[in-house]
Amino acid sequence: MKRLNPLVPFLERNDAVILDGALATELEQRGADLVDPLWSAKTLIERPELIRQVHYDYFVAGADVATTATYQATPQGFARRGLSAGETGELLNLGIRLALEARDDFWAVAANRRDRLRPLVAASIGPYGAYLADGSEYSGDYGLERSALIEFHRQRFAVLADSEADLLACETIPTLIEAEALVALLDKHPQAVGWLSFSCGDGTRLHHGETLAEAATLAAACDQVLAVGVNCTAPRLITSLLLSAGGVTAKPLVVYPNSGEGWDAVHRCWLPGADRRPLQDYVREWFGAGARLIGGCCRTTPEDIRQIRLALLRSAETARP
């Protein structure tokens, strides 16, 4: 049986859902060593309590959704470390459990429940390029057919779709064919719902070259896709992308850009970007362009989410008749 849409209460109450911010770069700021092909998934093995604390801090900052540390947690990646299928399943479920525990700890404090709805947990499903750990989630140049991408995602998708997470976050997708593979897997798990979010290289196109409008059209045709949009993309490109997607779907649009800096996959470092405005300065513009799920991606922090929430709730109040 398909789950009810968990976003509806938030949209009915506030016209908006506040997402969390970066997980991996926030873990690094707190001392985690992520120089590894597993990236944030390495912390599931070494310092899971740190992941739970970051989730908790995002809830305190105002996030309505915690996105789990499973973005780069794949059976294939863990197998390279010598972990069995059973151990992989345990780590994927640990990623869910850490977010659920942080949510329960947050919700147990009466003051935290004031003017809030009980937050959600979204199970992160990163693209094939994240497993490659070579930056190809920002190109989509995999050279794989849809059937191969379905097979790559199948095992992790099944574990996360059957978990206690409220929804799935299929994110940083750089190419339409991978989105088609993920939608095909959603169809195999009718109880699951989630969003599709794409990485984009300009104001209309995914990194691989297809238009975001094409991707939004794919999402519009799938009842299990609750929202569609963009993440880990420069803030200055977001408004144009939202407008291009909004013309082909009535689904809520989701956006959680990076800080505007660029990732150098060869030298494994962040490069200065052209964006100078803080994220909260864009919120009214994005809300006006149809965004209803808004947060941050790489290099954003709990303070960014706190400021986004304030700006977003002000925008929602202004938009009400």
> pLDDT tens, 14-32?
999 999 999 998 999 999 8
> Which pLDDT score, from 0 to 100, does residue 263 have?
56
312/207: higher pLDDT: 207
CATH code at position 244? 3.20.20.330
> Which pLDDT score, from 0 to 100, does residue 37 have?
83
d(CA 276, CA 268): 22
> Which pLDDT score, from 0 to 100, does residue 31 have?
92
pLDDT, one tens digit per residue, over 56-69 is: 999 999 999 999 99
pLDDT band at 270; cut points 50, 70, 90: low
Rounded average pLDDT over 240-264: 88
Residue 2 domain flag:
no
176-188 and 146-161 helices, crossing angle to 10°: 50
> Which pLDDT score, from 0 to 100, does residue 135 have?
84
Domain that holds residue 108: 8-319
**Nearest of 43, 40, 67 to residue 195 by alpha carbon:** 67
Size of the chain in residues: 321
Residue 3 domain flag:
no
Lowest mean pLDDT among 73-82, 206-215, 312-321: 312-321
Residue 1 domain flag:
no
d(CA 180, CA 178): 5
Lowest mean pLDDT among 97-106, 137-146, 196-205, 272-281: 272-281
Q: Are 22 and 297 in contact (CB under 8 A)?
A: yes
pLDDT, one tens digit per residue, over 151-189 is: 999 999 999 999 999 999 999 999 999 999 999 999 999
pLDDT band at 137; cut points 50, 70, 90: confident
pLDDT, one tens digit per residue, over 216-238 is: 999 999 999 999 999 999 999 99
Number of domains in the chain: 1
Q: Are 133 and 72 in contact (CB under 8 A)?
A: yes
Question: Diameter of the chain by CA atoms?
Answer: 58
Residue in this structure with the two tokens 């809030």, named with its chain if needed: 116
Q: Write the DSSP assignment of 99-133 as a string of letters.
A: HHHHHHHHHTSGGGGTT-PPPEEEEEE--HHHHHT
Residue 112 domain flag:
yes
Paired tokens of 26: 């926030």
Residue 273 domain flag:
yes
Q: Is the pLDDT of residue 268 over 60?
A: no
> Which pLDDT score, from 0 to 100, does residue 275 have?
64
Residue 183 domain flag:
yes
The chain-wide mean pLDDT, for the chain, equals 92
d(CA 214, CA 59): 33
Q: Are 204 and 213 in contact (CB under 8 A)?
A: yes
Q: Exposure of 183 by Cβ count < 10 A (0-12 exposed, 13-18 middle, 19+ buried)? A: middle
Secondary structure of residue 272 in the 3-state scheme = coil
Q: Are 239 and 282 in contact (CB under 8 A)?
A: yes
Helical segments of the chain, H only? 8-14, 24-29, 41-46, 48-61, 75-79, 85-107, 128-132, 146-161, 176-188, 212-220, 238-246, 283-288, 302-319
Q: Percent of the chain having pLDDT more than 70?
A: 92
Q: Is the pLDDT of residue 266 over 80?
A: no
pLDDT band at 271; cut points 50, 70, 90: low
